[in-house]
Every structure is written in C-alpha cells, then in structure tokens.
Structure 1
Amino acid sequence: MASKVSLRSKGKSSKSSSKSSEEKSATQAFKEWTTWAVKKAKVVTHYGFIPLVIIIGMNSEPKPQLSQLLSPV
C-alpha cells in the first residue's frame, strides 16, 4: 500500500483567477502606491505635529514668546 503524495497550494490558484494580468498589475501597483503613501504620511505626521502646534501657538492671541510655548509650566 503506497500512499500518494499530493502537492496542492493552499492559496488561490492562478488558473482559476478571473482577473487578467493587467488588472492584477494595476491592483498591485495601487496597493504598492497606497502603502508608500501611508508610510510617507506617517513620517510627515510624526515630524510635523510639534512644529505645527508651535506655529499655531505663535499665531494665537495673546502672542506668547517661544520660551513660554516650550516651557512646561
């Protein structure tokens, strides 16, 4: 009694996919672009938040000094 080994992929089969290669590449490009954009937005938000708060604080009334904005008291 010899057992038969079957090699099957657990993911989606490329043969049964109804999307064309152009749609796949467009979808892949869109996913890559959005991932890139989100990563860049995280960096901009991370490094831009504190300067934004300082700029908004400097333009408010009454006008504080920079040392007053940065002091913890």
Structure 2
Amino acid sequence: MASRVALKTKSKGAKGGAKPADERSAVKFLKEWSTWTIKKAKVITHYGFIPMVIIIGMSSEPKPSISQLLSPI
C-alpha cells in the first residue's frame, strides 16, 4: 500500500473564510464518492453489456432468433 503524508497547516482563526479541515473533508468525500461511483459503474457495465446487446439485437429488423444472436458466426 502507498503511504500517505499528512501536512499540517496553521489556521489564522475565523478571518480566513472556510476552514482547511472543512475543505479537506469535502475533497476526501468527493474522492470517496467518485471511487464508489466508478466501482459501481464497472460492475453494472460488466453484467449489463451482454443483456443489452441481446435486447437491442432482438428489437432490430429482421428479427433474429436467440441462437443466432448468441452464436459467434
């Protein structure tokens, strides 16, 4: 696993606007959410691609049989 380096910053009170800790937690939340979304999208794509091809193939003209859709020739 990769090691992480934590940087400590000094804040100058409430005058600076948003707290650095709030910004870091927002960035961390965004990274976690995007990672979770990408993982779910990979699973959906993996299990949904073949059924999608079959459904699109069955609704095209001329109507092929299921064996014609699944055969490699």
Smaller-chain TM-score bracket? 0.7 to 0.9
Counterparts of 1:1-73 in structure 2 under 5 Å? 11=5, 13-15=7-9, 20-73=20-73
Q: Provide the residue aligned with 1:8 in structure 2.
A: none
4+ residue runs of structure 1 moved beyond 2 angstroms? Answer: none
Give the greater-gyration-radius structure (CA): 1
> Please, which runs of 5 or more residues in structure 2 have no aligned partner?
12-18
Question: Percent of aligned pairs with the same residue?
Answer: 63
> Please, which runs of 5 or more residues in structure 1 have no aligned partner?
1-10
Q: TM-score, normalised by structure 1?
A: 0.75
| Aligned Cα root-mean-square deviation (Å) | 1.8
Q: TM-score, normalised by structure 2?
A: 0.75
Count of aligned residue pairs for this structure pair: 62
Partner deviation per Cα, 1:38-61 (whole Å, 9 max, x = no partner)? 000001001111110010000000
In 1: Cα distance, 2:58 partner to 2:44 partner: 21
